[in-house]
Amino acid sequence: MRYSALSLVRQGLAGQTGWPQAWRSPSPRSVYDAVIVGGGGHGLATAYYLAKNHPRRRIAVLEKGWLGGGNTGRNTTIVRSNYFFPESAAIYDFALRLYEGLSQDLDYNIMLSQRGILMMGHSEHDMELMTRSVNAMLLNGIDVELLDAAQVRAEVPLLNFEPGARYEIHGGFTQRRGGIARHDAVAWGYARAASALGVDIIQGCEVTGFDIVDGRVAGVRTGLGRIAAGSVGLCAAGHSGVLAGMAGFTLPIQSYALQAMVSEPVKPVLDTVVMSAATGMYVSQSDKGELVFGAGLDLYPSYAQRGNLPVERDVIAGMLEMFPAFRRLKLLRAWAGLVDVCWDYSPIIGPAPVGGMYLNCGWGTGGFKAIPAGGWMLAHLLATGRHHPISAPFDLGRFTSGRLIDEAAGAGIAH
Amino acid sequence: MLRLPCPYCGERDEPEFRFAGEPAVRPGSDVGDAVWAAYLYMRSNEKGPHREVWSHAGGCGQFFLLERDTVSHAVLRALRPGEAS
């Protein structure tokens, strides 16, 4: 069914009894041309673009839990493409451009809100480095704009401009096309559109191993039995290393817990996304009115989807330093996602050391904003066996050649 | 909050410590790019029991080996460098 004003009226008159299921839940077949492991945003986007851009293939997405139940449902929903290096700007802006047309493309409202994203500068040195970053981003074709302190104050009057503030505000820069989107809707929209194109989405199906013959993947062993596969795409974020272990290789990735939290809902007080490298934190206000915020990693390896109190305390302290008015809000929920962090804070997209197997991982703390691009690139690899020009610099081989894309500092945020 | 057993100072709170990576042996200079890349970048990243190097940065400053479960965060044991593994 196509979602439209007309379908709303019709269903309203029919007592909302005629809505079909958004996606099918089939049993797995015994063989597919392409099997995608991981039913989060990246895996579902991969399935959608593979079915749409490279048709006539039998495609399955295997998800061990439920759709979007991992990092897709645990992030702070920020989208942006304000990156320092040309390779990064190319892939993240490709993603943002796809996000800009995604609601129409999927016929599913992902509630993209391009409310802008403001990065704070807290000293003259910050502003000098920020000017350099902004110039690099402008050369990359990204719509960023340097702001002085008065302009920042006009845009976000709630920020702490008191004379005794720990982090004095000297200015900042904004990307107006940045903003937030509804994270669950991105997963559900891709799932619905992929299912309509014939993709089998199989939830509750954990991969337990791979059948590898003569260095080439032949199939996937799962809790629901063996599935033969012509090619396999891995989109498992924090669990990428576990899948790599099953296939007999290692990755330059360490998995950490990244915390996020929301306050109780309040009336509209913040109409942009605010980030600060000094406090490491970022905050936006959801459509429901909750303040959604987070900051740095719990800096030790973790597969627990929860963080610890010292980091939570620092995140909250950072936000209250920037927004003293929020200090009496109650915390509603806190949680963590498992992020797969590479040494250069850039993703890995490309062939795995096993034939027929392809990687889309290492997005670390920034995977949500990249979902459409990650899916598009992995679909291209699964269909052709070759890199899309945009994904080529992110090949696993960069760790041997030394051509790292070091966004750890370049991106200008605390990852 | 983690409570970690420094083999020199005893059990202390998480903020006193810094995770310093997985234990690894530095290869010779004549082994080629792939071996060096593996040493520099590749990680076991185990789910479950995991061998780690930690530093008691906010205490005695010493490095030590820690075996820790990365799912439950339970500490299995802590060793001084050179102690039997």
Whether residue A268 is found in the same domain as residue A158: yes
Whether residue A224 is found in the same domain as residue A166: no
Has residue A415 got a pLDDT over 50? no
Has residue A409 got a pLDDT over 70? no
Whether residue A134 is found in the same domain as residue A172: yes
Q: Does B18 touch chain A (CB under 8 A)?
A: yes
Q: Please, what is the Cα angle at A65 between A64 and A67, to 5 degrees?
A: 110
Within a domain: residue A7? Answer: no
Model confidence at A231, in pLDDT bands (50, 70, 90)? very high
Show residues of chain B in contact with A304, CB under 8 Å.
70-73
Alpha carbon A314 to its chain's center: 23
Give the residue ranges of DSSP H helices in A197-274. Answer: 240-247
| Mean pLDDT for chain B overall | 95
Which residue in the block uniquely carries the two structure tokens 């330059």? A252
Has residue B30 got a pLDDT over 80? yes
Whether residue A203 is found in the same domain as residue A188: yes
Whether residue A190 is found in the same domain as residue A86: yes
Reduced to 3 states (helix: H, G, I; strand: E, B; else coil), residue A142 is: coil
Per the structure, the count of domains in chain A is: 2
* pLDDT (0 to 100) of residue A382: 98
Q: Does B32 touch chain A (CB under 8 A)?
A: no
Within a domain: residue A3? Answer: no
Q: Nearest CA to CA, how far is A387 from chain B (Å)?
A: 22
Within a domain: residue A262? Answer: yes
What's the whole-number mean pLDDT along residues A6-30?
Answer: 95
Q: Does A299 touch chain B (CB under 8 A)?
A: yes
CATH code of the domain containing A141? 3.30.9.10
Q: Nearest CA to CA, how far is B83 from chain A (Å)?
A: 23
Residues A133-169: tens digit of each pLDDT: 999 999 999 999 999 999 999 999 999 999 889 999 9
What percentage of chain A reaches a pLDDT higher than 90? 95
CATH code of the domain containing A102? 3.50.50.60
Within a domain: residue A15? Answer: no
Whether residue A233 is found in the same domain as residue A260: no
Model confidence at A414, in pLDDT bands (50, 70, 90)? very low
* pLDDT (0 to 100) of residue A412: 52
Show residues of chain A in contact with B33, CB under 8 Å.
400-402
Total beta-carbon pairs less than 8 A apart between chain A and chain B: 68
Whether residue A227 is found in the same domain as residue A376: yes
Paired tokens of B41: 């970048």
Whether residue A235 is found in the same domain as residue A358: yes
Beta carbons of A137 and A84 less than 8 angstroms apart: yes
User: Which of A342, A368, A402 marks a domain boundary?
Assistant: A342
Between A413 and A357, the more confident residue is: A357
- The DSSP result for A143-189, as a single string, is -EEEEEHHHHHHH-TTS---TT-SS---EEEEETT-EE--HHHHHHH
| Mean pLDDT for chain A overall | 96
The CATH number that domain B3-79 falls under is: 3.30.2270.10
The residue range of the domain holding A213 is 23-108+182-251+344-410
Residues A46-66: tens digit of each pLDDT: 999 999 999 999 999 999 999
Whether residue A97 is found in the same domain as residue A187: yes
Whether residue A312 is found in the same domain as residue A272: yes
Within a domain: residue A69? Answer: yes
Among A191-205, A373-387, A401-415, B25-39, the least confident range: A401-415
Query: Exposed (0-12), middle (13-18) or buried (19+): which is A342, by Cβ within 10 Å?
Result: buried
Q: Model's pTM, two decimal places?
A: 0.96
Task: Tell me whether residues B19 and A400 touch, CB distance under 8 A.
Answer: no
Show residues of chain A in contact with B13, CB under 8 Å.
310
Q: Nearest CA to CA, how far is B68 from chain A (Å)?
A: 10
Model confidence at B84, in pLDDT bands (50, 70, 90)? low
Task: Tell me whether residues A301 and B44 touch, CB distance under 8 A.
Answer: no
Give φ, ψ of A135 to 5 degrees.
-60, -40
- The DSSP result for A299-357, as a single string, is EEE--SS---HHHHHHHHHHHHHH-GGGGGPPEEEEEEEEEEEETTS--EEEE-SSBTE
Whether residue A186 is found in the same domain as residue A104: yes
* pLDDT (0 to 100) of residue A277: 87
* pLDDT (0 to 100) of residue A164: 87
Q: Nearest CA to CA, how far is A240 from chain B (Å)?
A: 9
User: Which of A291, A313, A342 marks a domain boundary?
Assistant: A342
Within a domain: residue A10? Answer: no
Whether residue A324 is found in the same domain as residue A350: no
What's the whole-number mean pLDDT along residues A302-322?
Answer: 94
Within a domain: residue A2? Answer: no
